[in-house]
Structure 1
Amino acid sequence: MVYLSLFLTSFLAATLLPAYSEVLFGGLVTQGYSVWWLWFWATLGNTLGSVVNGILGRQVERFQDRRWFPFSREQMEKARARYLRYGEWSLLLGWLPVGGDVLTLVGGIMRVPWLTFITLVAIGKGARYAVVLWIVLESFGNGTPG
């Protein structure tokens, strides 16, 4: 049940909804749960939450022909080509507390291939939880994962 709670909190934290999984993650680390399983479930939940953002982003084009849509089809294609050439790597920053969710939404809008999207987002999110884990272990633990 603990791992499920962490997964769900991490999932919600990656969507556009306000949630903070690092606090729960850090607290559970200090309670003696397996740090590897905590890291795994937090990373998986947060990555899948970002996939939801990517799916939402891919739906934006449905509204492209509406009068109120702010960009022309040509502008979207130019932006997509530029983003796919230079911007895919920004998905590594999908973990950022401010703007990270938007990056994953834009990754969906720009139709980054799913394998690339998930790989880059998972690397960034996994690294973020690894840093949080290290900080908690150094601050409250004995410095060695359990």
Structure 2
Amino acid sequence: MRDRINADLKTATLARDKQRTGALRLISAAIKDRDIVARGAGTNAASDTELLDLLAKMVKQRAESAKIYIDAGRPELAEQEQAEIAIIEEYLPRQLSEDDVKAAIATVMAEVGASGIKDMGKVMTEMKARYAGQMDFGKASAAIKAALTS
């Protein structure tokens, strides 16, 4: 993933695509920051799973910013955030639909033998390992909790 981002950054820079270059530089800087944190924790570099989580977080931040800009009457800034979201999402796997998320939750719950709310941690850990970057885990957490309490 890192190589693809760096190659795309070089291409965008040579093409003088300012918006794409800026977004890819933000991604690259965030990855470097994550690598620095990983080295401090005793590992060489952040894993691809961690990078997918990072990109998903970046998308979520920009979506929140775009909403704030729209509420404040600044549609041009919201459009810029939406453009960055589109570029970042190119590096994320396809997002699962709501039905796919529910099916994945049911499958994981059955495999780990989850029977109650006390098993929520096991289910979330397995979901994050299998579906990193493919779903919003905040929403998935609520769905898991509902499934475990019913």
Larger Rg: 2
TM surpasses 0.5: no
TM-score under structure 1 length normalisation: 0.32
Structure number with greater CO (CA < 8 Å, separation at least 6) is: 1
